[in-house]
A and B are shown apart, each in its own frame.
Chain A
Amino acid sequence: MITRHQAIETIFDDVADSDLVLCATGMISREAFGVHDRPSNFYMIGSMGLLSSFGLGLALMSPGQRVIILDGDGSVLMGLGTLPLIATEAPPNLLHIVLDNEAYQSTGGQPCISANVSIADIGKASGYASSIEVNSVDGIRSTMAGFQGANGPHLIVAKVENGPVEHIARVSHSPTEIRDRFNDQVQVLS
């Protein structure tokens, strides 16, 4: 089993400068901030469950940029209806990645029902262009490399450890700083 940290590092290896990366509430935002803070990252510091719908609106209206949603298992289950909505609207530039540690780690590691539920199967049933579960660094890397510009929306569920959370900094930017620097990176339709 890989750590969430390894998974996030591997994902960012594939991120291009113009890609917008949206990071889920809690430890995912904090770890992405620690691993690879950049203006094109949006850290969702509240509103658990909202990330995927925010990403859908962005992907639809900024079609020239790849939008990567770094979601959590608890977060994606909280906004589950958004999965078939994403598949229905079908923005080809959207990549939805769920880091599934089967727990609510930010609140103390309480178990999440994703241990019993295949989020990748839900993605398939919803109608994503592709939906796959991976559990290794190579699995993440080869899946992302394999898209080669193939139209999305794609879903990758990466199973990760429910590991320790010590020494992970909080996002130090204020909400309006996150908004403004991110907004500057979004390509506006002319």
Chain B
Amino acid sequence: MKFTTLNGLRAWLDRLAQEYDLIAPRDVDGHVLYRPVGSSGEILFDYERPELSAKDYLLPATETLLWVEKRGSEVILEEVLPDRRQVLFGLRPCDAHGFTVLDALFLAQDPPDLYYRHHRERTTLVGLACPQMWDGCFCTSMGGAPDDPTHLDVLLREVDGGYAVEPVTEKGMALLEGLALEERSQKPGFSEKTQFLRPVEVPPPERWRPLFENRLWMRHGERCLSCRICTYVCPTCRCFDVTDRVVEERAGVTRIERIRVWDACTSTNYRRVAGGHNPRPTKPERLRNRFYCKFCYYPEDFGPLGCVGCGRCIVSCPVDIDITEVMRDVAERSGG
């Protein structure tokens, strides 16, 4: 295996920080979050699962789609795509998996999303394997693993005295130029004591379909608060809203920003139309939509399942709605 010391890694990251926007796990007032860092000194190397996914860096929570300048009856549109290159360092494999899920919609479905594609092409993913599974994690049920290199450009694993370095893609290989690497005979892996959680059965779409009108959605949905946290922490929830914001108005010139912002299908008015009709007026119906999107609609429409097993929605939900419990309920009721 290829090996680097922590010092070697830090020196490399410091150089990357000069050349790229470097995003890495950081302590923000006691919360572990993927955030821009100026140097390796700000980076956490020993952390659990960051509280939010990294989706903000490819599908920002708020993103400018257009600048609109209105001068009297003249309008000028300016398309903004900032030409920055970024490295996401210390990405957990489930978060990289989330990008592959988003790719299936934003890149593979015609027409591609220009903004997402722009960021995606300029981003390199350097993962750091999880040393174990954390509270709520079920990546191994969703085709992933704590040390899954599949969706990354580079995978690092902590080993005695430093890190095992596995280049996964050519892009990753290129980024590694400049990192002092040694060959070691040791093989990275989990210790025998590492606890893996028991996998959850993932019922395929056809087993969800007959349960659409089942009362189980009442049971899970009636306690939902419509707070939307599950969708905001999710690496694959991608719904967005588009609106205009007047930024400046003076001397006959109005500057308007057309922005898109994250949205959530669990919010009360999500499907409500201007006349007042709401085809999804109850919480059970909206929560059902979120689960069906992940396990039925998304795979049928775009290929991959819309869940990577990061477990964030489970630990974030204020009323303990647990996606794995829902999966078990569906598996049991659909004769699994």
Asked if chains A and B come from one complex, the reply is no
Residues of B within 8 A of A (CB): none
Interface on A for B, CB 8 Å cutoff?
Answer: none
